[in-house]
Amino acid sequence: MTLSTPRSPQPGLALYPQLLAPLDLGFTQLKNRVLMGSMHTGLEDGRDLTKLAAYFRERAEGEVGLMVTGGFAPNIAGWAKPFAGTLSTSGAARRHQVVTQAVHAAGGKIALQILHTGRYAYHPLAVAPTALKSPISPFKPFELSSRGVERQIRAFVNCAVKAREAGYDGVEIMGSEGYFINQFLSAFTNHRTDEWGGDYSNRMRLPVEIVARTREAVGRDFIIIYRLSMIDLIPGGSSWDEVVTLGKAVAQGGASIINTGIGWHEARVPTIATSVPRAAFAWVTKKMKAEFAAVGITTPLVTSNRINMPEVAEQVLADGCADMVSMARPLLADADFVKKAAAGQADQINTCIACNQACLDHIFKNKLTSCLVNPRACHETELVYRPVISDSASASARRRIAVVGAGPAGLTAATVAAGRGHEVHLFDAATEIGGQLNMAKVVPGKEEFHEMLRYLRRRVEVTGVHLHLGTRVQVQDLQGYDDVIVATGVVPRDPKIPGQDNAKVLSYIDVLRHHKPVGQRVAVIGAGGIGFDVAEFLVAGGHSTTTDLPAWQAEWGVTDPAQAPGGLSPAGPMVTPPEREVTLLQRKEGKLGEGLGKTTGWIHRAALKMKRVKMVGGVNYERIADEGLLVTYGEKRENPTWIACDTVVLCAGQLPLRELADALQVQGKKAHLTLHVIGGALEAGELDAKRAIDQAARLAATL
Ligand code: FAD
Ligand code: NAP
Ligand code: SF4
């Protein structure tokens, strides 16, 4: 629920004429060019789909043109994991009606994604064209017989029929990301010699048959989206000619819309992480659009990946890259994205920062999806921001609340509470809001944190929070409030290394906040999230490839798929020399960065390796002196080694800043105020912005 309702749709139409234009599919019309891309949320698994219905209803109310569900398997073999959501019976179709009815009641349209995972399946019943284990599942699939292939096709068709029975407006046939259909297309995973393998006309037979037979079964007035892998980003990926041949065949064979898939899941090129430039792959869809135009195919094309603001989407459409834009995570972050764009209120959009921390990383840990910047995502029925009742003595009456600390925890608590109707005063000792986010935003590849700050700043204005910057709060300043929320954050941990008073020692705050000069050879102590970020900051020397698409493509070895199959440059990633020589250290044995996000840790490690950062684990910090940092190894403190360096940066973790909270605990009782402590001030161990925001939102929802 968003508490400020956009006033008029007119301003947005002038700003985003292409994005907000309807799309006519002949038998049906979409109200605009926004397709909410498929995302598995965890709400699909199980029999009760009411929470999934609430999630989609909010997005339909937010005016999304067409939504696609997370993947549902057409049969057991196609499950992503045991007991994954499946649609194959009329009973299941009836259970889905709660979703389709909720969406239609809100004026929306929704398609069900049919996902067969093939050799990516995380269960022992997996099937594939060839019995080849994938690098992302421990289960080796069974090779399908010809009859087995026929059974899978029938399962796809049956799933589409059941989707229609359930009231869906269409289906998306998942043909990309390295799943089952993709596995037939590539000679790399298809070694068959029957009519489903061998030359490309045989390998592409599977999707063509699936689309044609689905169209025949569901009739003409039902949307069929085909998700086409336009650039595989794997060695042995499809050639551009093959991709084009397939795209034309499925368009002419019954697909209503062709959506773009980028990269197989096993690809070693980041495709959606925050360090990927915005709209980094729209040019691939544009190439396909030219191929279609050349032969008069008018099937609408959807482009995808790292499109997270209306102006980016509009530009992509204005540049002729596609007819529609797929946004998935941005609609987790803000259900009212389209409505706000239409009202000319893009500055109020809660922007997806592409961190993956609460969405994809949760799914990989078998946890329900949410969103770092919007903890209500997928929790719509349970986390509700109810307006408070004014002039009432009830528990939810208007209160006077002080929030100390304007980091993500304090900002969220303040804006949610004020948005509900409380009188809120927000204090920060600093002269700007954001707390540690102001350090995150200067790290190359983390530019999206600027958007988070813009959104929060705007929420402060819109919700009428009384903001007091440059104000260090003490206990005596907090009289007359009903509630005090302490969100004072953290202080860096002192690692107490002998010699750390040497002039060459800096903290991460000195480097990222105060921009103190750093030498050429640097030792970074501590390899948590901040140690990695500091290392990336130091080697980049002020240049971020996230805002430089050609440089980013060169860095990751991405090229035109017409030049090299799969779009991987034969020369590989282009290594540019680092700005500094950096050694990143930790005391734990083993791989550095183990605690980083499941879906992004490998990117940080790969990026630092490309910049020749030395990553050293299992050290003891013996002493810092003019010659550098002396370390030994292991419990026996063996092999003393000087790491020659000009600067040592301390990134040794954080501790809660609890001075105010502790003092209030004692004195607050006398003042009859209710004390709440959140974010880093409560617990610094494993704290991140996700936890800080979630905790703050949940507290503010209850006041
Ligand atoms: P803080 O952000 O620390 O804010 C506390 C605020 O309280 C400060 O502004 C301070 O000035 C103010 N304050 C303190 N005492 C007083 C007082 N007495 N009176 C008034 N004001 C006071 N997290 C992620 O989830 N993802 C990331 O990618 C990520 N990247 C990061 C990168 C870097 C370089 C850093 C440093 C952190 C990163 N984090 C990331 C961590 C995240 O920023 C923190 O977990 C989060 O900011 C903690 O929020 P908080 O509101 O509890 O505290
Ligand atoms: P952290 O992830 O806990 O890492 C602290 C590092 O310091 C560890 O490498 C630890 O490794 C080392 N350390 C701990 N005690 C030490 C001591 N006494 N002496 C020397 N080294 C010590 O914390 P952080 O890097 O400060 O980050 C703070 C929080 O922000 C984290 O919770 C993190 O999740 C979050 N953050 C997230 C991201 C992100 O991209 N998601 C980015 C930045 C920050 P050893 O003990 O092995 O030496
Ligand atoms: Fe976007 Fe991060 Fe939210 Fe996922 S958790 S939707 S990546 S902001």
Q: What DSSP assignment string belongs to 260-278?
A: EEES-TT-SS-SSSTTSPT
What was the pLDDT predicted at 330?
Answer: 98
Residues in the chain with pLDDT < 50? Answer: 1-3, 6
Report the distance separating Cα 230 and Cα 284, nearest Å: 7
How buried is 660 (Cβ within 10 angstroms: 0-12 exposed, 13-18 middle, 19+ buried)? buried
Which amino acid residue places its CA nearest to atom 7 of ligand 2? 652
pTM of the model: 0.96
Catalytic status, residue 179: yes
Which atom, in ligand 3's list, is nearest to the CA of 356? 7
Ligand 3 pocket test, pick from 278, 364, 373, 448 with the greatest ligand atom count within 8 Å of Cβ, gives 373
What is the distance in A from the centroid of ligand 3 to the CA of 325?
A: 18
What was the pLDDT predicted at 395?
Answer: 57
Q: What is the SS3 assignment for 326?
A: strand
Q: Which amino acid is at 302?
A: V
What is the distance in A from the centroid of ligand 3 to the CA of 357?
A: 6
What was the pLDDT predicted at 389?
Answer: 77
CA angle 442, 446, 449 (to 5 degrees): 85
What was the pLDDT predicted at 396?
Answer: 63
Ligand 2 pocket test, pick from 688, 690, 693, 694 with the greatest ligand atom count within 8 Å of Cβ, gives 688
| Nearest Cα to Cα of residue 353 among 699, 680, 689, 697 | 689
Cβ density class 346-382: b for 16+ within 10 Å, e for less:
bebbbbbbbbbbbbbbbbeeeeebbbbbbbbbbbbee
Q: What is the SS3 assignment for 412?
A: helix
What was the pLDDT predicted at 2?
Answer: 43
Active-site choice (16, 179, 385, 508): 179
Ligand 3 pocket residue status of 371, Cβ below 6 Å: yes
Would you give the distance in Å from CA 205 to the centre of its chain?
33
Whose structure tokens read 């017409």? Answer: 562
Radius of gyration of the chain (CA): 27
What was the pLDDT predicted at 140?
Answer: 97
What was the pLDDT predicted at 3?
Answer: 47
Task: Report all structural domains of the chain as residue ranges with CATH numbers, in order of start.
Answer: 12-349 (3.20.20.70), 400-490+657-702 (3.40.50.720), 505-542+579-652 (3.50.50.60)
Report the distance separating Cα 240 and Cα 224, nearest Å: 23
- Ligand 2 residue neighbourhood (C-beta within 6 Å): 357, 493, 495, 525-531, 533, 586-588, 595, 597, 651-654, 686-688
What was the pLDDT predicted at 668?
Answer: 65
Residue 327: its H or E element? strand 324-327
Ligand 3 pocket residue status of 599, Cβ below 6 Å: no
What is the distance in A from the centroid of ligand 3 to the CA of 351?
A: 9
How buried is 551 (Cβ within 10 angstroms: 0-12 exposed, 13-18 middle, 19+ buried)? middle
Report the distance separating Cα 302 and Cα 252, nearest Å: 16
- Ligand 1 residue neighbourhood (C-beta within 6 Å): 355, 357, 404-410, 427-430, 435-437, 439-440, 443, 472-473, 487-490, 512, 529-530, 533, 657, 660, 679-680, 687-690, 692
